[in-house]
Structure 1
Amino acid sequence: MVKPIRKAILPVAGLGTRFLPATKAVPKEMLTVVDRPVVQHVVDEARAAGIEHIVFVTGRNKGVIEDHFDRQYELEDTLQERGKTHMLKMLREETMGPGATSFTRQQLPLGLGHAVWCARDIIGNEPFALLLPDMLHKPTNGKGCLGQMAEAYRRTGGGNHLAVYEVPHEQTDQYGIVGLGDEMADGVHKIARMVEKPNKDVAPSNLAISGRYILQPEIFDLLATQERGAGNEIQLTDSMLKLAQTQDFYSVTFDGAIYDCGSKLGFLMANVAYALDNPEISGSFRPELDALLAKS
């Protein structure tokens, strides 16, 4: 029987220097896309996919993230007194229960692989999801990216799964790129190759890893002994390449749009896309946007 994916890791220790001075005192993960912090969008995706426990790998000055996912009794009491029951209901539904979140420190900036390794004792000996909070995945059909991956995980009988999407060929040197093998199901292929940031002339495809992973726990032992790679950091891809020698890796082509909220352009595009899809404001936002573009 395939072990279910119950736990997820969210690495949130980055400094967010590309958004200074906004991130001098506010974590980049707490910058809002419309009315929700970026990290809340990602947590929503994880919970919709059936994740029961989320492990946040944090750093210094990230305490506000922990506060955000805690209950705020004073706020709840105020909303109750003012009769704002709809808003109160929303907050309570989005608050994860006792013991459903864990926070562990990545005390040194040693890369994504190191951040994942920091969560090893909390995850234990079970498969887990990894979601990079900078990358917002807005689905086309209503099912989130991790939900699509969880379905593929069950259909293939387990293994390791990476969400992928097409990027321009001239930009392959900015991403982890996969080469595909046999198709296992609709949109799901075995991965034949994984290459970190290859030049377009040697890239096996233009399919980039999009920041969503389902990984088996054996990755932790490999990360524990992984030497530093690109950028003098412990690279997750290096350990995945070793794991791929003994375990299957699959690609899941995400059906939707992806916004890199670690960049200013991606963050702004995400705000526009989510605002246009928000029933509360889209009706008034669209003509204002059209008018602004007409003036430019």
Structure 2
Amino acid sequence: MTHFPKVTKAVIPAAGLGTRFLPATKAVAKEILPIIDVPAIQFIVEEALTAGIKDILIITGKGKQEIEDHFDANFSLEKNLKSKGKDKLLELATKTSDLNIHYTRQQYPKGLGDAVLHAQTFVGEDPFLLLLGDDITRGENLSQSLINLYAEYGKTTIAGVRVNEDKAKRYGMLDIETTNQDHIFNIKGLIEKPQGEAPSNLAAAGRYILKPEIFPILESLKPGSTGEIELTDALIDYNQNHEILAYEYPGEWYEVGEAYGMLIASIIFALDHPEVKDEFIPYIKKLAESL
């Protein structure tokens, strides 16, 4: 039986300008905008940690200092909470303060492919988990599922979710063929935001297992029509000589990089929130009846 290197490192690009949340993101990093009381990026980090990731690299940009501050200790806050005996709040405040998180900065907004390229030194010769910060999952730990697949097959893997045909032009769409296992497909090609008919209704869902062979391809790429270096273009090139798997995620997927997705995620998570749900559920029911 072949044993493949364990996936112990994760990369989280968080350098986007967040223009879809202006004016809020004029002074606040979009990744810090909360879903109820938890910043979006904390959901991403916790997913990776729960999946057994040991080291995380967050790729930031100008105006993203709040991300580093959030995952750092806040001595004065902790001292205040401790002195007042607010143990529950103290636990929440310190929960994210002792994690093995590293940072590097993408100096210019040159695309996701360029952001991933900034992880080359951190990754070295290891396979790694890539988690996009605009995508939140609920249910099965998607990162764990991808790591398990890599342990079995040792192949680059892309998570996918089914989307309506009229929304395909918003996503990277996967051209797939079936295998003998449910939810697992071979990828024949990728199309970034197709303007014509998409090859399938399976869209890339912001989680990848990538191998270090992707870096030379990213280095050789020229910016596309948007002026950015696209990860999809690198994966298309990689797929010419290497097999790529797609895993259809059976859980829930929310895009929190735009207002509608953030609103939906906030409602769904509020229905589970121990301090909100008892008042929120009756309100939602009453609101639904009035529409």
TM-score normalised by L of structure 1: 0.93
The 3 A distance-change label for structure 1 pair 213 and 230 is: farther
SS of 1:146's partner is helix
Q: Which of 70, 76, 82 lines up with 1:74 in the alignment?
A: 76
The 3 A distance-change label for structure 1 pair 60 and 136 is: same
- 8 Å contact 2:179–2:185 — kept in the other structure? yes
- 8 Å contact 1:171–1:200 — kept in the other structure? no
Q: Letter of the 1:44 partner, please give it.
A: E
> Where has structure 1 moved over 6 Å in runs of 4 or more?
none
Partner of 1:176: 172
Instruction: After TM superposition, give the deviation of residue 184 of structure 1 in Å.
Output: 5.1
- Report the Cα distance in structure 2 between the residues aligned to 1:28 and 1:280, rounded to whole angstroms: 24
Q: Which of 2, 5, 16 lines up with 1:3 in the alignment?
A: 5
Instruction: After TM superposition, give the deviation of residue 233 of structure 1 in Å.
Output: 0.8
Partner of 1:104: 104
Q: Which of 53, 56, 59 lines up with 2:55 in the alignment?
A: 53
- Report the Cα distance in structure 2 between the residues aligned to 1:149 and 1:52, rounded to whole angstroms: 16
SS of 1:121's partner is helix
**Unaligned 5+ runs, structure 1:** none
- Report the Cα distance in structure 1 between the residues aligned to 2:170 and 2:225, rounded to whole angstroms: 12
Partner of 1:257: 252
Q: Letter of the 2:203 partner, please give it.
A: A
Partner of 1:17: 19
Partner of 1:295: 290
Q: How many residues align?
A: 289
- Report the Cα distance in structure 1 between the residues aligned to 2:225 and 2:206, rounded to whole angstroms: 18
Q: Which of 276, 279, 283 lines up with 1:284 in the alignment?
A: 279
Q: Deviations over 1:13-66 (max 9, x none)?
A: 111111111111111111000110001111111111111111111111111100
Q: Letter of the 1:125 partner, please give it.
A: E
- 8 Å contact 2:113–2:231 — kept in the other structure? yes
- 8 Å contact 2:61–2:105 — kept in the other structure? yes
- 8 Å contact 1:45–1:146 — kept in the other structure? yes
Q: Deviations over 1:73-110 (max 9, x none)?
A: 2222222222222333344343343xx21111111111
Residues 244-253 or 76-85, more deviating:
76-85
SS of 1:41's partner is helix
**Unaligned 5+ runs, structure 2:** none
- Report the Cα distance in structure 1 between the residues aligned to 2:287 and 2:24, rounded to whole angstroms: 24
User: Does 2:163 match 1:163?
Assistant: no
Partner of 1:146: 143
Partner of 2:206: 211
Partner of 1:121: 121
Q: Letter of the 2:201 partner, please give it.
A: N
- Report the Cα distance in structure 2 between the residues aligned to 1:137 and 1:276, rounded to whole angstroms: 15
- Report the Cα distance in structure 2 between the residues aligned to 1:103 and 1:113, rounded to whole angstroms: 17
SS of 2:179's partner is strand
- Report the Cα distance in structure 2 between the residues aligned to 1:45 and 1:32, rounded to whole angstroms: 16
Residues 184-193 or 268-277, more deviating:
184-193
- Report the Cα distance in structure 1 between the residues aligned to 2:249 and 2:216, rounded to whole angstroms: 29
- Report the Cα distance in structure 2 between the residues aligned to 1:230 and 1:214, rounded to whole angstroms: 26
Q: Deviations over 1:93-141 (max 9, x none)?
A: 43343xx2111111111100000001211121111111111111112xx
Instruction: After TM superposition, give the deviation of residue 200 of structure 1 in Å.
Output: 4.5
Instruction: After TM superposition, give the deviation of residue 278 of structure 1 in Å.
Output: 1.7
Q: Deviations over 1:263-285 (max 9, x none)?
A: 11111001000101223321221
Q: Which of 167, 189, 195 lines up with 1:199 in the alignment?
A: 195
- Report the Cα distance in structure 2 between the residues aligned to 1:175 and 1:205, rounded to whole angstroms: 12
TM-score normalised by L of structure 2: 0.94
Partner of 2:184: 188
- Report the Cα distance in structure 2 between the residues aligned to 1:231 and 1:13, rounded to whole angstroms: 17
- 8 Å contact 2:189–2:239 — kept in the other structure? no
- 8 Å contact 1:137–1:145 — kept in the other structure? yes
